[in-house]
Chain A
Amino acid sequence: MEIKDRIIIAKDFHEDPGAREEKDGLNSGEIFYNELLLPKFLKAVEKKYLLLIDLDGVFGYPSSFVSGSFGALSIKYSGNQVLKHLCFKSDRRPIRIDKIKYEINNPERKDK
C-alpha cells in the first residue's frame, strides 16, 4: 500500500501531548483521536492506503496519550487492522514507534 496521507503530531496537533481523556487534562489522546486520527484512519481504510504518523518534534509521549488515541483505535478496529493502515516515522527516537506499536498490540483498557 502507498502512503497517501500523513499526520505530523507536533504540527497538526500539539508539541506537548497530554493525558488520555479530555477530562484528564490538556491535549488529550481523546481529542487527537476524535479530531485527527480516527477521521484520517477511516479514510485510509476506505481508500486502501497508508496513513503516515510523524512522531518527531514532540518532547515526549505520555503512555496515557498513546492509550487514549492509538490504544482506543486498536480496541475499536483491532491491532491488525490499525497496523495495516498506519505507519510511523521517528528519526529522533525510534523507540517511540515500538512504544506505539506495543500499545496497539496490547491496548490498555479504559476500566484499568
Chain B
Amino acid sequence: MIEYLKKHIVWVLLVGVILIGISFSTGLLVKNWPLITLDPEFKITDLFNILISIAIALLIPFYIKYFIDKGNKVNDMVLDEVMRYRDHLEQTHQRFFSIFQSGSISDSNKSEINVYCEMLDSKFEILSTILKERCKGDAEIHINDLKNNQIEYWRILTSIEINSLAISEIHPNTYLKEVKCHEHLTKTIVKINLLLTNY
C-alpha cells in the first residue's frame, strides 16, 4: 500500500485536492441554497434517525426479495430430488415391463432388478432427508406413504415370484402387482409435489 502511494504520489495529492474542493463547494452550495434552511435545533441524532429510516426502507424490500429467492432455490432443489426419484422409478418400471414383455427372465435380469431396487432405496434416503428438512412435520405422512409403498414395491420385484431358479418368466399376475404398486408410488410423488407448492 505504502509502495503504491509512493509510486503514485502526484495522483494521490491531486485526488486529495479535488476531494477538498468538492467538499468546500458542497458546503457553500448547501449554505447558500435558498430552499434548504437548517433548523438551529437540528441535532446530529436526528440525522442518524433519518439515515437509518432510509436504510431500513431500502433494505426491507431487498431482504424480502432475498428470502423469496432463497426459498425458491431450496424448493427447486427439493423438486429436482423428487424428479430424480420419479425418473428412477420410471426406469425401473420400464425395465420390468420390457423383461415381462420379452417372455423370459435371466439370472442377470434378476440381479439387475435387485440393483434397481437398491438404487431406489438410495434415492429414497436422500429425498426423505431433504423433505424432512424442508417441510418438517408436514412431510412425515408423505414420507411414510412413500416408504410403505416402496417396501411393497421391493417385495414384489425381488420376491420368490421373481428371485428363484425355477422362475424363467414374469407371471402376468406379478406384473399386474407391479403396475398397481407403481401407480401408488406415482400418486404419492404427486402429493409430495403438491405439498411443495405450499412452500
Contact = CB atoms under 8 A, between A and B. Distances in A.
Contact of A24 (B148, B150, B157, B164): B164
19 contacts: A20-B160, A20-B163, A23-B165, A23-B166, A24-B160, A24-B163, A24-B164, A24-B165, A25-B163, A59-B115, A60-B115, A62-B158, A63-B158, A64-B162, A67-B160, A93-B122, A98-B147, A108-B155, A112-B160
B124 interface: yes
A94 B125 contact: yes
A94 B150 CA distance: 13
A60 B162 CA distance: 15
Interface in A26-84: 59-60, 62-64, 67
The 6 closest A-B pairs by CB, nearest first: A60-B118, A62-B158, A24-B164, A64-B163, A63-B155, A63-B158
A108 B165 contact: no
A36 B43 CA distance: 86
Contacts of A102: 148, 151
Contacts, number: 66
Contact of B166 (A24, A62, A98): A24
Given A60-B118, A63-B158, A95 B163 contact: no
Interface of B: 114-115, 117-118, 121-122, 124-125, 147-148, 150-151, 154-155, 157-160, 162-166
A102 B152 CA distance: 9
A6 interface: no
Contacts of A19: 160, 163-165
A22 to B, nearest CB: 10
Contacts of A94: 125
B188 to A, nearest CB: 15
- Interface SS of A by simple majority: helix
A20 B115 CA distance: 18
> Is chain B's binding surface mostly helix, strand, loop or mixed?
helix
A53 B147 CA distance: 21
Nearest to B156: A63
A58 to B, nearest CB: 10
B121 A93 contact: yes
A59 to B, nearest CB: 6
A108 B121 contact: no
Nearest to A112: B160
A96 B160 contact: no
Contact of B164 (A64, A93, A96, A99): A64
B159 A108 contact: yes
A24 B121 CA distance: 25
A60 B121 CA distance: 9
B184 to A, nearest CB: 15
